[in-house]
A and B are shown apart, each in its own frame.
Chain A
Amino acid sequence: MKKQSLPELQKICSQLRRDVLRMVHTVQSGHPGAPLGCAEYFVALYFDQLHHNPDFQMNGKGEDLFFLSNGHLSAGWYSVLARSGYFPVEELKTFRKLNSRLQGHPATHEHLPGIRIASGSLGQGLSVALGTAQAKKLDKDASLVYVLMGDGELQEGQVWEAAMYAAHYGMDNVIATVDYNGQQIDGPTAKIMDLKNLKAKWEAFGWEVIETKEGNDLAAVIAGLEKAKSLTGKGKPILNLLYTEMGYGVDFMVGTHKWHGSPPNDEQLALALGQLEETLGDY
């Protein structure tokens, strides 16, 4: 895929946000907050970083692979997959509807191109990503495995089982990103179950940690992922702490957990779309 300029990529971010809001609005269900905050990450990954083939092959041999562990960001993932050619953009309108391949949370059961495992029940994606990365090592396949987790998701114990494994086996072909927005369904993570010093935690588990402080600045996100890539192959797994704002891009949604799992009503949608330019054409 030809690399696109920063302004072009920014246009995709805006369209992704529109897609997300329209998708959750149509069915009046889903999770808009976190995918709005991860728009830059999704676009940077699929349109700039990944060596991938939208002509989907499940085994992904020779390709960089991405796993979404926090499956409730499905609307954002589906948008970026459709916009990068995995399936028709029009199919976004079937999100969460009966007989759709775009299940509420990602699933392989319906054979949606781009999805390699189901996610939704939290805490499992890092383990899966590591398994796939281990298979790549066995096959001497030098491509990388990416995974995105939520920060609230780190409250699941399995994540730390996986963290231990990754360091023990020197899984240096894995770049894990934590969507560090400080929010979860019931409120701020600091109030619900404080994550304390995440950087120190991951470092103590034997990971190489980088911090992307401006997780909603596309150039910074790309720079962070470039840095992460430069650290692969050195014997340690890479953890990218991506500081984002939940609900970014819409002034009344930003920075609060209130839009974690609530769709906008008609009026709110109109207001939100007014702040997001339609750049690639709505589905």
Chain B
Amino acid sequence: MSLDLKYTYTEKKDTRSGFGDGFLEAGKRNPNVVGLCADLIGSLKMGDFQKEFPDRFFQTGIAEANMIGLAAGMTIGDKIPFTGTFANFATGRVYDQIRQSVAYSNKNVKICASHAGLTLGEDGATHQILEDLGMMKMLPHMTVINPCDYNQTKAATLAIAEYKGPVYLRFGRPSWPVFTPANQKFEIGKAWKMIDGKDVTIFATGHLVWEAVVAEAMLREEGIHAEVINIHTIKPLDTEAILESVKKTGCAVSAEEHQVNGGLGDSIAQTLILHNPAPLEYVGVHDSFGESGTPTQLLEKYGLNAENIVKAAKRAMARK
């Protein structure tokens, strides 16, 4: 059985490579862009930038707290630092440094985090952070972005270099469908309605946007027309787009590679409860840590794939 997908792809690539390529391009466009990495240059795909601009790149060793402080200090000299490490070490390990030296001080640091969520795979739960979006979105001044594929990650990387203020940019490791256009314009804080629908809205972020696209086709085969909205910016949240869609569809599903506690779903729930209470079903990790496995196995076991989005959509519709 082949699905009638509204978006298709010809290749798979990792979102971290979108970051790496965008970072190199940002460095070419603006001499103030600098890079820092805590001993994960290869994993973060920061090597091309380092090779092109060796004087503007700083290997910090395995010392993430210092890296965040260095980056904050560099902004005082008008530099635009991009820090790179795994999402776990980029957030949980250095929350206080980010809070005081970056967010409270409102410094123009771009905290770039790879290997987020379950799709990191075999390394297991120590590295599979599922709380980072929640931690980052709670910080005043912080912009939180979680793009869906290679092209969107590259575009987001270029966009945050232009934007002044602290940003958390989250991406991942697995090879993933490239289904959004190359050279797209990325508007921070502007949700992207990818598919029109009338029965239920699927709000997805990161890798799960692709799963939402697949789920939409599966639902359509059953005569259900889902609207798919790509929430690449978790904060500031495009509440206008969310409310407009749910006004039409009357119910919603949130889909994210993150704990349901404190993630995108909670932000949407907050928006709905304040302005237009409507049924919402969460697709996310339910208060547990991850484990070792392949990305596909993990998404299946923890209920984060298209099949689970389909089930959640039906549950939401039944509650209308």
Q: Give chain A's interface residues, CB within 8 Å of chain B.
A: 58-61, 65, 107-109, 116-121, 123-136, 138-139, 141, 157-158, 161-162, 164-165, 168-169
Q: In the bound complex, do residue B74 and residue A134 qualify as a contact, i.e. CB atoms below 8 Å apart?
A: yes
CB distance from A217 to the nearest CB of B (A): 31
Selected contact of B73 from candidates A134, A139, A141, CB within 8 Å: A134
Selected contact of A107 from candidates B34, B76, B104, CB within 8 Å: B104
Across chains A and B, the number of contacting residue pairs, with CB separation under 8 Å, is 120
Q: Give chain B's interface residues, CB within 8 Å of chain A.
A: 34, 55-56, 58, 60-61, 63, 65-79, 81, 96-97, 99-101, 104-107
A36 CA to B164 CA, complexed, in Å: 39
Q: In the bound complex, do residue B74 and residue A108 qualify as a contact, i.e. CB atoms below 8 Å apart?
A: no
Most-contacted residue by chain A among B65, B67, B69, B97 (CB, 10 A): B69
- A134-B70, A169-B58 given; A108·B105 CB < 8 A: yes
CB distance from A68 to the nearest CB of B (A): 13
A135 CA to B74 CA, complexed, in Å: 5
CB-based nearest B residue for A107: B104
Q: Give 24 A-B contacts (CB < 8 Å), ordered by A residue.
A: A59-B78, A60-B76, A61-B77, A108-B104, A116-B76, A117-B73, A118-B100, A118-B104, A129-B73, A131-B72, A134-B73, A134-B77, A135-B79, A138-B79, A158-B63, A158-B66, A161-B63, A161-B65, A162-B66, A164-B61, A164-B63, A165-B66, A165-B70, A169-B58
Most-contacted residue by chain A among B34, B63, B81 (CB, 10 A): B63
Q: In the bound complex, do residue B76 and residue A117 qualify as a contact, i.e. CB atoms below 8 Å apart?
A: yes
A165 CA to B66 CA, complexed, in Å: 8
A147 CA to B92 CA, complexed, in Å: 27
For A157, list chain B residues within 8 Å (CB): 65
Query: Closest 8 A-B residue pairs measured CB to CB?
Result: A131-B73, A127-B69, A135-B77, A161-B63, A161-B66, A131-B70, A128-B73, A132-B73
For A131, list chain B residues within 8 Å (CB): 69-77, 81
For B65, list chain A residues within 8 Å (CB): 123-124, 127, 157-158, 161
CB distance from A54 to the nearest CB of B (A): 17
A10 CA to B99 CA, complexed, in Å: 38
For A138, list chain B residues within 8 Å (CB): 34, 55-56, 77, 79
CB-based nearest B residue for A131: B73
Q: In the bound complex, do residue A127 and residue B73 qualify as a contact, i.e. CB atoms below 8 Å apart?
A: yes
For A121, list chain B residues within 8 Å (CB): 96, 99-100
Most-contacted residue by chain A among B77, B104, B105 (CB, 10 A): B77
Apart from A120-B100, A162-B66, list 16 A-B contacts with CB within 8 A: A58-B76, A61-B78, A116-B76, A117-B76, A117-B101, A124-B69, A124-B100, A126-B69, A131-B77, A131-B81, A132-B73, A132-B74, A135-B73, A161-B61, A162-B70, A164-B61
For B73, list chain A residues within 8 Å (CB): 117, 127-135
For B104, list chain A residues within 8 Å (CB): 107-109, 118
CB distance from A140 to the nearest CB of B (A): 11
Q: In the bound complex, do residue A118 and residue B101 qualify as a contact, i.e. CB atoms below 8 Å apart?
A: yes
A109 CA to B107 CA, complexed, in Å: 11
CB distance from A102 to the nearest CB of B (A): 16
For B78, list chain A residues within 8 Å (CB): 59, 61, 135
Q: In the bound complex, do residue B69 and residue A108 qualify as a contact, i.e. CB atoms below 8 Å apart?
A: no
For B71, list chain A residues within 8 Å (CB): 131
Q: In the bound complex, do residue B58 and residue A134 qualify as a contact, i.e. CB atoms below 8 Å apart?
A: yes
A126 CA to B101 CA, complexed, in Å: 11
- A121-B100, A138-B34, A138-B55 given; A132·B68 CB < 8 A: no
For B60, list chain A residues within 8 Å (CB): 165
A126 CA to B73 CA, complexed, in Å: 9
For B58, list chain A residues within 8 Å (CB): 134, 169
Selected contact of B101 from candidates A128, A133, A141, CB within 8 Å: A128
Most-contacted residue by chain B among A119, A128, A168 (CB, 10 A): A128
For B74, list chain A residues within 8 Å (CB): 131-132, 134-135
CB distance from A243 to the nearest CB of B (A): 26
A141 CA to B67 CA, complexed, in Å: 22
CB-based nearest B residue for A165: B66
Selected contact of B107 from candidates A117, A127, A136, CB within 8 Å: A117
A130 CA to B107 CA, complexed, in Å: 15
Q: In the bound complex, do residue B97 and residue A124 qualify as a contact, i.e. CB atoms below 8 Å apart?
A: yes
For B105, list chain A residues within 8 Å (CB): 107-109, 117-118
Q: In the bound complex, do residue A127 and residue B68 qualify as a contact, i.e. CB atoms below 8 Å apart?
A: yes
A130 CA to B34 CA, complexed, in Å: 15
For A60, list chain B residues within 8 Å (CB): 76-77
For A59, list chain B residues within 8 Å (CB): 76-78
CB-based nearest A residue for B60: A165
For A139, list chain B residues within 8 Å (CB): 77
A123 CA to B55 CA, complexed, in Å: 27
CB-based nearest B residue for A115: B105
Q: In the bound complex, do residue A128 and residue B72 qualify as a contact, i.e. CB atoms below 8 Å apart?
A: yes
A157 CA to B74 CA, complexed, in Å: 21
For B97, list chain A residues within 8 Å (CB): 124, 127, 158
- A138-B34, A161-B66 given; A132·B76 CB < 8 A: yes
- A119-B100, A165-B60 given; A127·B66 CB < 8 A: yes
CB-based nearest A residue for B97: A124
For A118, list chain B residues within 8 Å (CB): 100-101, 104-105
A158 CA to B73 CA, complexed, in Å: 15
A130 CA to B77 CA, complexed, in Å: 11
CB distance from A165 to the nearest CB of B (A): 6
CB-based nearest B residue for A65: B76
For B96, list chain A residues within 8 Å (CB): 121
A133 CA to B74 CA, complexed, in Å: 8
